[in-house]
Structure formats: C-alpha cells, structure tokens
Amino acid sequence: MRLIRLIANLGYGSQREVKAMLRAGRLTLADGTELAESSRVEHADIRLDGEVLDPPQGMVLMLNKPQGYTCSTSDPGRIVYELLPPRFMRRNPVVAPVGRLDRDTTGLLLLTDDGDLLHRLTSPKHHVPKTYDVTLARPLTGDEGELFASGTLLLRSETTPLLPAMLKATGDCSARLTITEGRYHQVKRMFAATGNHVESLHRSAIGGLGLGDLPEGQWRFLTADEVAGL
Ligand code: URA
C-alpha cells in the first residue's frame, strides 16, 4: 500500500495531513532517514515522530470500561472511544466494539478492526463464554442456578429459550454468571425473569481472557497469544 494511504488508514490524519507530515520530515525509518511519498517500506520499519506506528489491520485491544460510557461512535453522552486515542476512531477499516456492554455495565470490552474476528466472537453460532459479576437488589433464592442451567428459560418477547448458563453464588446478593450468547440486556433480563433486579454488572472475562490488573478506564493491545486464544 502507498505510504500516504497506509498512514491515513491508521487514523493519523487525512491524506493531505500525511503529505504535510512527510514534508515536515516527521515520517522516517528507525535510523532517522526521512521518507518520501514514493518510499516503499514495511509498516514495522516506519516511525512517526520517532515512534513506532499503531499495529496494522488485525489489531485487538481490551478496555476496562467504566460506567457511563456508551459502546457507540455517536451518542449525546460519553462514548467508549473517548477513552482511546482519537485516531482509533478514524481508522479504516473501523475499530468496532466486539458486542456491546450497556452504558451502566463495567468491565472487559474488546475492540477490533478485524471483521472476521468480530464476526467469530459475536455470531450466535459461536458460543463464546462471557463471565459477569452481578450484584442484585434482593437475595438469591437458590433456584436460579438450576433454572439458568436448564436451557429452558424463555425471556419475555422471545421465542427461543436461552442456552444453558452457569451461575455461582458469591454472596447473598451477588453471583458470577457465565453465558454463551449475547442477547439484548441478557443478564438483566435473566434475573428479571426470577423476580430480581440487577444493581450492578461487571464483565470479568471473555473466554479465558480476563482484565488482569488493567485499571478502570484504561486500555491495552492484546498480545498475539491472547488473540490466538480467543
Ligand atoms: N447483559 C446485560 O444485561 N447487559 C450487559 O451490558 C451485558 C450483558
């Protein structure tokens, strides 16, 4: 790919702005050699202001989403992209959230510009387990685990029962729930079906991938091994 388009597609600026970066000598090789519009160079060898570039297409990152942010590119309120470098929203292909978390849900959100991966992780055909820590308004009755595991729970206005889900009580009013689907407000609706109400919801894992010690509001790229593990 031509150098200008490559840099512009990474969201660093419009093609015109990238041309200006070249004229200003901001795009170089690692040894400081200035690049020209016609330079044929590998992504990994390019430096912008001496820094390596963001990863090429296929990048996957995790964000520890705080409350109050919407998984959308346009919303009157705050959006998750505000927690990332602004250029990520300008990348082509776009960086999209892998599924959605509600505005008031916290925790692990993956974002990627890899359309195949996005499809694989969100398609109803692929039952990727997602684990949530739930705080409830009322104590668990003790019957929820069996109901959620039964594969017979039908949510209001739906025609197909939910796939079996695994519940582990972690306190009188708290539980860890693992589901393998991503239906609309699924966890909240599952507990609503038992006469309870979700007070807070935190996604702690997707498959075997957890947040580790990533602080709330922070993000990081996934390693190649983590992406392969997804
Ligand atoms: N289920 C919900 O109800 N909300 C979320 O944000 C995620 C799963």
164: Cα separation from own chain's centroid: 24
For residue 74, what pLDDT is reported?
85
Contacts for 169 with CB less than 8 Å, ≥ 6 apart:
140, 142, 145, 175
Checking if the pLDDT of 70 tops 80, the result is yes
Report which residue type is found at 170.
T
C-alpha 102 – ligand 1 centre gap (Å): 6
For residue 201, what pLDDT is reported?
98
Burial per residue of 15-41, b for 16 or more beta-carbon CB atoms within 10 angstroms, e otherwise: eeebbebbeeebbbeeeeeebeeebee
**Residue 203's closest CA among 64, 61, 69, 72?**
64
Q: Spelled out in words, what is the top-level CATH class assigned to the domain 60-123+209-229?
A: alpha beta
Q: Spelled out in words, what is the top-level CATH class assigned to the domain 129-206?
A: alpha beta
C-alpha 185 – ligand 1 centre gap (Å): 4
Instruction: Tell me if 60-123+209-229 shares its fold with 129-206.
Output: yes
**Residue 158's closest CA among 189, 180, 129?**
189
Q: 75 falls in which pLDDT band (50, 70, 90)?
A: confident
- For residues 210 and 204, is the Cβ–Cβ distance under 8 A? yes
What percent of the chain is predicted at pLDDT more than 70? 100
Checking if the pLDDT of 1 tops 80, the result is no
How do residues 54-64 score in pLDDT, each as one tens digit?
A: 999 999 999 99
The sign of the dihedral angle between the CA atoms of 179, 102, 212, 169 is negative
- 103 CB less than 6 Å from ligand 1? no
Tokens of 229: 């593990």
Q: Kindly report the pTM of this predicted structure.
A: 0.93
- 190 CB less than 6 Å from ligand 1? no
- Per the listing, tokens 């995790």 go with 62
Give the residue extent of every domain in the chain. Answer: 3-52, 60-123+209-229, 129-206
- 188 CB less than 6 Å from ligand 1? yes
For residue 136, what pLDDT is reported?
98
Tokens of 131: 């684990």
The catalytic residues are: 102
16: Cα separation from own chain's centroid: 31
Q: Measured between alpha carbons, how far is 34 from 210 in angstroms, rounded to an integer?
A: 41
- For residues 148 and 166, is the Cβ–Cβ distance under 8 A? yes
**Architecture of the CATH domain 3-52:** Roll (3.10)
Measured in Å, how far apart are the chain's first and last C-alpha atoms? Answer: 29
| Substitution candidate for ligand 1 out of 162, 188, 204 with most atoms within 8 A of CB | 188
C-alpha 203 – ligand 1 centre gap (Å): 8
Residues β-bridged to residue 70: 79
For residue 111, what pLDDT is reported?
97
For residue 230, what pLDDT is reported?
85
Indicate which atom in ligand 1 lies nearest the CA of residue 101. Answer: 6
Q: Measured between alpha carbons, how far is 211 from 204 in angstroms, rounded to an integer?
A: 6
- 134 CB less than 6 Å from ligand 1? no
